[in-house]
A and B are shown apart, each in its own frame.
Chain A
Amino acid sequence: MSAQAVQPRLAVLPNERERQRALRRLRLRRAAVYIVAVLLALWILLPIWLITNMAFSTPTAVRAFPKAFFPNPISLDSLTFFINSEGILRALGNSVLVAVTTLVISTLLAVPAGYAIARYMFRGRDAVRLLMLSVRAFPIVVLAVPLAVIFIRLGMYDQPVTLALMHTALTLPTTILVVSSVFASVPYEFEEAAQVFGCRPIQAFATVVLPLALPGIAASAILTFVLSWNEVFAAMLLTSTNRTLPAHILYNLDKSSDPFKFAAAFFMLVPTMIFIFFIRRYLFNMWGSINK
């Protein structure tokens, strides 16, 4: 018995070496994951930093090379110059008008559609979903050029409302999918309970489902706003005098100075960053990974 008790101690040594090797490999694997994650983050963050950095630098600093990592001194000259440039405020107004119109039409259509997709098992439900997504599969060119022709014929060319209709067509599939995932997260049992306790179906929707879905619907509305705000191709094609901000900037890009470009990029970037930050939870939800 005592002889046997000594033996396991001899066996410990090779075992220990194997353990160390496994631990080393585990650490290496973890390090690799972190390195990839950091590289991915830099890929996104460096351009954003460059834009922000340059937007707050003096025009001289922008033209200098190599560029400083921090703006020194911090200056609002570029941004003020950009905002006061010819046509910027008008384009900004157009952009807001188009984005808000898109948001309103898109949300009004997406709420009933999203509800139907979330709640009802109707024939062809999956086909409808696929068909809506397929709109996104076409390049915008394919949609925008024939539409431009049609709009010119109808005398609707170069109007913010027209562009808003175009943007609605582009954003609606995403909006519907987000809204339907929001409705799907409200248990149907709530509606049934409301109906048992005296509600008509429409009342149950209004008193129970809508209040619970509202934050999510607001999030999808913001997403719609951002999509419209950032869209430039259709905006270029469907407007000539009433350009939106990105279209206006793009149109004037080759005639502008570097400080103007950086200030413009920063100006376009900020609303998107802020909005996406607030709604990111709902965007994750759309793909099924719920983090509450």
Chain B
Amino acid sequence: MSEIVIENAVKQFGKFTAIDNVSLTAAEHEFVVLLGPSGCGKTTLLRAVAGLGMLDSGQVTIGGRDVTYLPPRDRNISMVFQNYAIFPHMTVFDNIAFGLKMRRADKTQIRERVENAAKLLHIEGMLERFPSQMSGGQRQRIAVARAIAYESRVILMDEPLSNLDALLRLEMRAELKSLLKRLGATTIYVTHDQIEAMSMGDRIAVMKSGRILQIDAPTRVYDLPSDHFVGGFIGNPPMNFVRGQVQRSGGAYAVKIGDFTLTPGDELRSALTPYDGKLIYMGIRAEAMEVVTTPTTDTLPVTVDVVEPLGAQNLLTARVGSDILKVSTSPDSPIKMGDQVWLRFPLNKIRWMDVDTGRAITADVAQVLA
């Protein structure tokens, strides 16, 4: 049993609320990523699970055991730190064996586990070296090896890849993911890199200002952001947001963007009722739009301001009223700067959002409210 449950966690530093009543469950074997900008409370939350910073209120349980007030050593967790925290005065072997020695594990067992962990991270030939003789990437590997040699069922990771250069990060990302999957430990992983979060997590918890805005599988967080912030934070380019006015036409609602009209599906009718006559956001991903070069009735005419060839795609920038749209097209698209094109918006790819609160307007929310 190694399920991690955080309930109603609150942590304040003076007047600043770092964690504002957060609840989160990481199921056994699950890989949960805490994603958010700096200062959103993700590291504070992780440290609360590790026991490196006590909560002001709330509860943390690991494997059914209440660990809220236990010191780190009694929680049976391992952790990988942002700056690795590899002890420079110990050899690689002693670093990896550190936790096991503290537990007074038996000598042959220590050797066996350290060698296994080192083999998994491809540093088995370097056990007698000192960390100062190793590169950043290799030190990172020692830190991970130390965490897995400890054989706790919970591994916490605090931006472990943020100090690596881009190429190494890409390599370690895939390697870590497969390694952690094989180990089956429950993992909480903190990062501010949305690509890392998308690529590694079973679920992503997107945090902002001490709260979790959305916790979902990566594809759901990407396709169905529950919040304006989530849509804008995840994805490169971020989700587009264009303001439109809600208008009742007969029994249904339509959204007017300039002269162009979109008709949201019937299931949203009750959800849109309070917005009659008001502005809402139409959120759509850059690759979800269809670009056509001849006008049709269901397309919005735009002028292409910028074309950025990015190799795998050509990114178009267009202006709709005062809002900017980023549209991705195929790299061999003939569209040039200054061209007039028409955009089609598939209704099932659109996420409607409240302009003031930023929350998504969905059929579900309407049912909850009703």
Query: CB within 8 Å of B: which residues of A?
Result: 187, 189-190, 192-200, 203, 208, 211-212
Docked-complex contact B78 and A196, CB < 8 angstroms: yes
Asked whether any CB of chain A lies closer than 8 Å to the CB of B26, the reply is no
Q: Give the residue of A189, A196, A212 whose beta carbon is less than 8 angstroms from that of B72.
A: A196
Asked whether any CB of chain A lies closer than 8 Å to the CB of B258, the reply is no
Other CB < 8 Å A-B pairs besides A197-B99, A199-B73, A208-B89, 8 of them?
A190-B85, A192-B52, A192-B72, A193-B87, A195-B52, A197-B98, A197-B146, A203-B102
Q: Give the residue of A190, A192, A195 whose beta carbon is less than 8 angstroms from that of B87.
A: A190
Query: CB within 8 Å of A: which residues of B?
Result: 50-52, 71-73, 77-79, 81-83, 85, 87-89, 98-99, 102-103, 146, 150
- Which residues of A have CB within 8 Å of B79? 193, 196
Distance in Å: Cβ of A208 to nearest Cβ of chain B: 6
Docked-complex contact B50 and A196, CB < 8 angstroms: yes
> Chain B interface mostly helix, strand, loop or mixed?
loop
A208 CA to B87 CA in the complex, in Å? 7
Tell me whether A211 and B89 are in contact in the complex, defined as CB-CB below 8 angstroms, given that A196-B72, A198-B103, A199-B102 are known contacts: yes
A283 CA to B71 CA in the complex, in Å? 36
Distance in Å: Cβ of A128 to nearest Cβ of chain B: 21
- Which residues of A have CB within 8 Å of B73? 195-200
- Which residues of A have CB within 8 Å of B71? 195, 200
A187 CA to B83 CA in the complex, in Å? 9
Q: Give the residue of A189, A196, A199, A200 whose beta carbon is less than 8 angstroms from that of B77.
A: A196
- Which residues of A have CB within 8 Å of B98? 194, 197-198
Distance in Å: Cβ of B59 to nearest Cβ of chain A: 20
Distance in Å: Cβ of A217 to nearest Cβ of chain B: 14
Distance in Å: Cβ of B1 to nearest Cβ of chain A: 20
Distance in Å: Cβ of A145 to nearest Cβ of chain B: 46
Docked-complex contact A196 and B89, CB < 8 angstroms: no
Docked-complex contact A196 and B102, CB < 8 angstroms: no
Docked-complex contact B85 and A187, CB < 8 angstroms: yes
Distance in Å: Cβ of B241 to nearest Cβ of chain A: 39
Distance in Å: Cβ of B186 to nearest Cβ of chain A: 15
Docked-complex contact B102 and A192, CB < 8 angstroms: no
Docked-complex contact B89 and A197, CB < 8 angstroms: no
Q: Give the residue of B78, B85, B103 whose beta carbon is less than 8 angstroms from that of A189.
A: B85
- Which residues of A have CB within 8 Å of B83? 187, 189
Q: Give the residue of A187, A198, A211, A212 whose beta carbon is less than 8 angstroms from that of B102.
A: A198
In this complex, what residue of A is CB-closest to B104? A198
Of A189, A193, A212, most buried by chain B (CB within 10 Å of CB) is: A193
Docked-complex contact A212 and B78, CB < 8 angstroms: no
- Which residues of A have CB within 8 Å of B146? 197
Docked-complex contact B81 and A197, CB < 8 angstroms: no
A-B interface, 5 closest residue pairs, ranked by CB to CB distance from nearest: A198-B102, A197-B99, A193-B85, A189-B85, A195-B72
Q: Give the residue of B52, B88, B150 whose beta carbon is less than 8 angstroms from that of A197.
A: B150
Docked-complex contact A197 and B87, CB < 8 angstroms: no
Q: Give the residue of A189, A192, A200, A212 whose beta carbon is less than 8 angstroms from that of B88.
A: A212
A198 CA to B100 CA in the complex, in Å? 8
- Which residues of A have CB within 8 Å of B102? 197-199, 203
Of B73, B87, B146, B150, most buried by chain A (CB within 10 Å of CB) is: B73
A169 CA to B71 CA in the complex, in Å? 38
Distance in Å: Cβ of A218 to nearest Cβ of chain B: 14
A275 CA to B89 CA in the complex, in Å? 24
- Which residues of B have CB within 8 Å of A192? 50, 52, 72, 81, 85
A211 CA to B94 CA in the complex, in Å? 14
A269 CA to B145 CA in the complex, in Å? 52
A194 CA to B83 CA in the complex, in Å? 14
Docked-complex contact B52 and A196, CB < 8 angstroms: yes
Distance in Å: Cβ of B150 to nearest Cβ of chain A: 6
User: Can you list 24 pairs linking A and B with CB atoms under 8 Å apart?
Assistant: A187-B83, A187-B85, A189-B81, A189-B83, A190-B85, A192-B72, A192-B85, A193-B81, A195-B51, A195-B71, A195-B73, A196-B50, A196-B51, A196-B52, A196-B77, A196-B78, A197-B73, A197-B98, A197-B99, A198-B102, A200-B71, A208-B87, A212-B87, A212-B88
Of A190, A196, A208, most buried by chain B (CB within 10 Å of CB) is: A196
In this complex, what residue of B is CB-closest to A190? B85
- Which residues of B have CB within 8 Å of A194? 87, 98
- Which residues of B have CB within 8 Å of A200? 71, 73
A225 CA to B142 CA in the complex, in Å? 40
A208 CA to B89 CA in the complex, in Å? 8
Distance in Å: Cβ of B46 to nearest Cβ of chain A: 11
Distance in Å: Cβ of A120 to nearest Cβ of chain B: 14
- Which residues of B have CB within 8 Å of A189? 81-83, 85
Q: Give the residue of A187, A197, A208 whose beta carbon is less than 8 angstroms from that of B78.
A: A197
A189 CA to B87 CA in the complex, in Å? 10
